[in-house]
């Protein structure tokens, strides 16, 4: 079956009343079924399901759509994952893509990891167990230990490997999953004499493990290596348990460690997750934003924690989220704070978390003598990049605050911001500016990112001439926005299903693959972007905008790193970062000059 007909066929085979009825107590009410809305709190049912039309509609909160939309919203899944879920539950075979390898079945790996997790958990019950003593010392109850499946890896070098071999697991599988290492004497367990934290994805599959040393053994924390089923950048610890609480609370709290998550959860703060020992990644931010756009970062106050917070701010903004930063008083971590002060005091800290811009402006104060005019001037100049990154309303708000604090007119600060941004040689007009110059203002109104605008220009060009899909891969063009990625995935599916290939893809066929929100945005872009008769010129100009945008984002991150390096007096880092900034400026200037010459 062709992909463009499959979605309609799926909706015919799946009854929305059955799907919704698993989660909502529905009662017949005339031509409809009625129940309490699963998307907002209510006492009187206002949620209706119409079997004849195969749609749902809540008259209380406004949620409505078809069966796929319900699965997306209820389970917080992207469109294609919702389709896959329905197909799996109803035994419906999805169309296969031509010329593509069959999807690999990882159920065997998940089964092995589950066996390992049960083994570690059972080891806690051994009399005199050091792991259990450690968890008790950290204040964890039996219910919490069971909830998170915590365990203990024996000190013996081959205990887990020996057990799993009796369960039919091969040495090759042990190595692939990072459960064992290879030495001169054969295999030995990777985790030994450690408390074990199973890492579980949002499909409730055990994908890896974290091990905390008991005593002074180094490293203190040891994680499973990345494997075919475990990519740290795509997962967050605890999210399998907390995603619904995050949705209900309307915000997520991101912490650094496993114990922070577990301790907060045990204390009743359950809208929490951890980023697996790394700074928050783009994919983790996108995953979080499925459940809430409001994300509170709670990292340590040392240099590494500050850098992680700044990186987190950047990626959350890029994913369309709204970051805030929480500071735990007294230098304590969330685990220590909540055990000493309780849930309500911690929630007060969460409520007091500052917006990302305010955090960056406060951070920039260190190192300046703000009691002198020269110190104030230097500080104002140093925060220009932060002010320039804000939207017009937020920028005006913080300029007013600075004006009130330092007695400098708002006009003077605004002129400093504009002078800094316009002081360099004017950039060549990008394809975005030339084709639809009023888009910048519309972007602010529609909360659409620069990345998305540029990437949708790429996507629409590919629909006009499909050879550019391969060209993007060859030139290293990566799509970060959800919409552009969805459009190109749909294009690839249609091309795979075509008998003789496709040179151009009709927009209506793409729209059939998109969920209603994506479709509406796609149609707005399709109506706005005018490619013109010269595909290659359009591509060159769009690529130039793409590269400049990437370089500017890299510069913004480097400026944050430079500020921290200067405040901590790390001269070698300052010199290295300054050199990288100069090289980025040269790259941007070269692109602008090339575009000016081409447009002359």
pLDDT tens for the 600 residues of the chain, in order: 455 568 877 887 888 999 999 989 999 888 889 999 998 888 899 999 998 788 999 988 889 999 999 999 888 888 888 888 898 888 888 876 544 455 577 889 999 999 999 999 999 988 778 999 999 999 999 999 999 999 999 998 899 999 999 999 999 999 999 999 998 889 999 999 999 999 999 888 999 999 999 988 888 889 999 898 998 888 999 999 999 899 889 999 999 889 999 999 999 999 999 988 667 888 899 889 888 899 999 987 777 788 888 889 989 988 889 999 998 876 578 999 999 999 999 999 999 999 999 999 999 898 888 998 888 888 998 899 889 888 888 888 999 999 999 988 888 788 778 765 544 433 333 333 333 334 333 333 333 456 788 889 999 999 989 888 888 888 888 888 888 888 988 888 888 766 556 688 889 888 888 877 788 888 888 887 878 778 888 888 889 888 988 888 888 777 767 766 766 677 777 888 888 888 888 888 888 888 777 765
Q: State how far the Cα of 463 lies from the Cα of 495, in Å rounded to an integer.
A: 11
Q: State how far the Cα of 262 lies from the Cα of 266, in Å rounded to an integer.
A: 6
Predicted confidence at residue 434, as pLDDT, reads: 34
Contacts of residue 85, Cβ cutoff 8 Å, sequence gap at least 6: 71, 75, 77
Predicted confidence at residue 573, as pLDDT, reads: 79
Domains and CATH numbers, the chain: 3-90 (3.90.580.10), 107-230 (3.90.980.10), 234-360 (3.40.1360.10), 364-422 (no CATH), 424-600 (no CATH)
91: left (phi over 0), alpha (psi -120 to 50) or beta: left
Predicted confidence at residue 128, as pLDDT, reads: 77
Task: Provide the token pair at 568.
Answer: 């901590």
Predicted confidence at residue 3, as pLDDT, reads: 56
Torsion angles phi and psi, residue 207, rounded to 5: -110, -15
- Residue 505, exposed/middle/buried by CB under 10 A (0-12, 13-18, 19+)? buried
pTM: 0.61
Q: State how far the Cα of 442 lies from the Cα of 440, in Å rounded to an integer.
A: 5
Torsion of CA 453, 457, 462, 468, to 10 degrees: -100
Q: State how far the Cα of 126 lies from the Cα of 113, in Å rounded to an integer.
A: 21
SS3 (DSSP) at 8 = helix
Task: Provide the token pair at 415.
Answer: 């002129």
Predicted confidence at residue 567, as pLDDT, reads: 66
Predicted confidence at residue 551, as pLDDT, reads: 86
Contacts of residue 133, Cβ cutoff 8 Å, sequence gap at least 6: none
Give yes or no for a contact between 461 and 468, defined as CB atoms under 8 angstroms apart: yes
- Reference 237, options 217, 265, 215; nearest CA is 265
The verdict on whether omega for the bond into residue 392 sits within 30 degrees of 0, i.e. cis, is no
Predicted confidence at residue 592, as pLDDT, reads: 82
Contacts of residue 550, Cβ cutoff 8 Å, sequence gap at least 6: none
CA angle, corner 393, sides to 391 and 397, nearest 5? 115
Give yes or no for a contact between 27 and 33, defined as CB atoms under 8 angstroms apart: yes
Contacts of residue 107, Cβ cutoff 8 Å, sequence gap at least 6: none
In 3-state terms the chain splits into helix, strand, coil percentages (rounded to 5) of: 55, 10, 35
DSSP secondary structure string, 260-303?
HHHHHHHTT--SEEE-TTSPPPHHHHHHHHTT-SEEEE---SSH
Task: Provide the token pair at 100.
Answer: 């593509």
Contacts of residue 42, Cβ cutoff 8 Å, sequence gap at least 6: 36, 60
Predicted confidence at residue 432, as pLDDT, reads: 33
Give yes or no for a contact between 278 and 164, defined as CB atoms under 8 angstroms apart: no
Predicted confidence at residue 2, as pLDDT, reads: 52
Task: Provide the token pair at 279.
Answer: 């700074």
Q: State how far the Cα of 222 lies from the Cα of 424, in Å rounded to an integer.
A: 48
């Amino acid at each position: 079956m062709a992909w463009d007909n499959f979605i309609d066929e799926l909706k015919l085979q799946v009854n929305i009343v059955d799907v919704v009825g698993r989660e909502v107590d529905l009662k017949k009410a005339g031509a409809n079924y009625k129940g309490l809305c699963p998307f907002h709190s209510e006492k009187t049912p206002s949620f209706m399901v119409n079997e004849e039309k195969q749609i749902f509609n809540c008259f209380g909160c406004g949620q409505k759509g078809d069966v796929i939309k319900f699965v997306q919203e209820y389970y917080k899944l992207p469109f294609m994952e919702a389709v896959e879920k329905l197909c799996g539950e109803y035994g419906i075979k999805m169309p296969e893509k031509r010329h593509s390898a069959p999807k690999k079945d990882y159920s065997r790996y998940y089964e092995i990891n589950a066996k390992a997790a049960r083994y570690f958990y059972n080891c806690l019950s051994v009399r005199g167990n050091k792991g259990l003593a450690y968890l008790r010392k950290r204040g964890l109850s039996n219910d919490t230990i069971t909830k998170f499946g915590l365990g203990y890896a024996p000190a013996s070098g081959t205990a887990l490997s020996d057990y799993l071999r009796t369960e039919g697991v091969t040495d090759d599988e042990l190595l692939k999953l990072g459960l064992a290492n290879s030495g001169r004497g054969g295999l030995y367990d990777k985790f030994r004499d450690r408390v074990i934290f199973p890492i579980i994805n949002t499909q409730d599959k055990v994908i890896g493990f974290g091990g905390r040393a008991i005593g002074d053994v180094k490293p203190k924390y040891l994680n499973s290596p990345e494997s075919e089923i475990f990519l740290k950048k795509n997962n967050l610890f605890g999210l399998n348990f907390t995603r619904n609480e995050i949705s209900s609370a309307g915000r997520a709290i991101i912490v650094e460690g496993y114990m922070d998550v577990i301790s907060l959860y045990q204390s009743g703060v359950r809208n929490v997750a951890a980023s697996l020992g790394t700074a928050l990644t783009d994919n983790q931010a996108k995953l979080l934003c499925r459940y809430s756009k409001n994300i509170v970062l709670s990292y340590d106050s040392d240099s590494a924690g500050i850098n992680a917070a700044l990186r987190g701010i950047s990626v959350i903004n890029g994913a369309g989220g709204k970051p805030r930063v929480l500071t735990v008083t007294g230098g304590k971590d969330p685990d220590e704070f909540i055990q000493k002060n309780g849930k309500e005091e911690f929630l007060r800290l969460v409520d007091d978390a500052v917006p990302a811009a305010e955090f960056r402006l406060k951070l920039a104060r260190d190192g300046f003598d703000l009691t002198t005019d020269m110190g104030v001037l230097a500080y104002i100049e140093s925060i220009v990049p932060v002010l320039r990154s804000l939207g017009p309303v937020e920028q005006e708000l913080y300029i007013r605050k600075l004006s009130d604090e330092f007695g400098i007119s708002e006009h003077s600060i605004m002129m400093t911001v504009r002078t800094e941004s316009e002081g360099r040689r004017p950039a060549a007009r990008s394809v975005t500016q030339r084709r639809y110059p009023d888009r910048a203002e519309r972007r602010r109104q529609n909360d659409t990112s620069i990345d998305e605008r540029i990437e949708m220009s790429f996507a629409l060009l590919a629909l006009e001439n499909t050879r550019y899909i391969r060209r993007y891969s060859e030139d290293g063009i990566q799509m970060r926005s959800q919409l552009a990625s969805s459009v190109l995935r749909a294009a690839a599916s249609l091309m795979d299903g075509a008998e003789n290939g496709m040179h151009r893809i009709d927009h209506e066929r793409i729209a059939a693959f998109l969920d209603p929100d994506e479709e509406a945005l796609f149609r707005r872009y399709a109506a706005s972007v005018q490619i013109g008769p010269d595909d290659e010129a359009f591509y060159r100009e769009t690529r130039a905008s793409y590269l400049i945008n990437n370089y500017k984002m890299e510069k913004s991150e480097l400026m944050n790193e430079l500020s921290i390096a200067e405040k901590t007096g790390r001269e070698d880092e300052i010199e290295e970062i300054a050199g990288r900034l100069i090289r980025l400026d040269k790259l941007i200037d070269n692109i602008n000059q090339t575009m000016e010459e081409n447009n002359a």
